[in-house]
């Protein structure tokens, strides 16, 4: 286990930092995983005072927890709400993924 893996495992195990969620890749079944959540700070210009956001949440998760790399359109369920993956970026080593999530209707 690399130092990065150990640090990520520590963060994901901490109940104050990480959350339980479920993942659904295209053609797959819902799978449980742990992730770190954050809210994006960048508002989209030109949408008036509503400060609309294309991405509702950002999630960081360990690549080893997924059977295949995340793709746009995959679903994530957290706290009773389902989100659609709009953006998926691997870290430089491909060990973790940062996802941009939008609420589904």
- Which pLDDT does position 94 carry in this prediction? 84
- Which pLDDT does position 42 carry in this prediction? 57
User: Would the pLDDT of 91 be above 50?
Assistant: yes
- Which pLDDT does position 56 carry in this prediction? 81
Res. 1 pLDDT band, cuts 50 70 90: low
User: Would the pLDDT of 89 be above 70?
Assistant: yes
| 17 phi/psi in degrees, rounded to 5 | -110, -40
Asked if residues 76 and 85 have their Cβ atoms less than 8 Å apart, the reply is yes
Question: How far from chain centre, in Å, is Cα 67?
Answer: 15
Q: Between 3 and 72, where is the model more confident?
A: 72
Q: What is the DSSP letter of 32?
A: E
- The 10s digit of each residue's pLDDT in 20-78 is 999 999 888 999 999 999 886 655 555 544 444 567 889 999 988 888 999 999 999 99
Q: 9: burial class by Cβ within 10 Å (0-12, 13-18, 19+)? A: middle
3-39+55-103 CATH fold: Thrombin, subunit H (2.40.10)
């Amino acid at each position: 286990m690399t130092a990065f893996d150990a640090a990520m495992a520590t963060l994901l195990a901490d109940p104050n930092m990480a959350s339980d969620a479920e993942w659904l890749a295209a053609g797959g079944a819902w799978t449980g995983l742990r992730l770190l959540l954050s809210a994006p700070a960048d508002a989209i210009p030109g949408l008036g005072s509503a400060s609309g956001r294309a991405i509702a949440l950002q999630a960081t998760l360990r690549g080893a927890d997924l059977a295949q790399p995340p793709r746009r359109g995959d679903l994530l369920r957290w706290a009773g709400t389902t989100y659609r993956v709009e953006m998926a970026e691997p870290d430089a080593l491909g060990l973790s993924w940062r996802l941009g999530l939008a609420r589904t209707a």
